[in-house]
Every structure is written in C-alpha cells, then in structure tokens.
Amino acid sequence: MLYIVGLGLSDERDITVKGLEAVKSCERVYLEAYTSILMVDKQRLEEFYGKEVIIAHRETVESGSDEILHDADHVNVAFLVVGDPYGATTHTDLVIRARERGIA
C-alpha cells in the first residue's frame, strides 16, 4: 500500500495520529523534499517515527517513481509531504501511477 501523508508545516509532531500509525507500519518511508521545507531535519523525523527516512528529490518523484512504488503492492510505503499532500501535480501523478499498478 502507498500512504501519502501530510506532515503539517512545522515539526515532527504535526503529523496526525493516523498518519503516524501509517508511517510506523511502513517498510520504506520517503520524504518529499522540494515543494516545501520542514522546520526540522530528517534525523528528528527518524527519531520520532522510529524509521529511516529516505529523501525524495524532484527527480526521484518525477523520473524514479518506480523506486518509490517498488513492491508497494506487497509492503507498505509512505510518501511524506510537508503541508498539503496534493499540493503538487507530481504527488497526484504518483498516486495515479500506483493505481495503474493496482497499488492501493
């Protein structure tokens, strides 16, 4: 399953309870790092979520979506976005690509 999770605008504690539960259930966690900037560094997210966080630059999302979606039909994958998760067309495109592959 692919989880698209909005993180809020400030720090690691702005995530919703459901979002945090989703992140904790994931095998891989990506942080979109080009449309907005979170006020804390990746290490604080990793400590709070208990998961390694992989930085996803624009190129990764636009050209390397296969990496993000790899095995997402068998394992949980999170795509973390600062602010509104659907604020960029690349995020919507990632969801469309996931659906085309039968990934929920």
Q: What is the pLDDT of residues 2-60, one digit of tens each?
A: 999 999 888 999 999 999 999 999 999 999 988 888 889 999 999 999 999 999 998 88
- Given a cut of 90, whether residue 94 has pLDDT beyond it is yes
Return the DSSP state at 83: B
The model carries a pTM of 0.93
Give residue 76's pLDDT band: very low, low, confident or very high (50, 70, 90).
very high
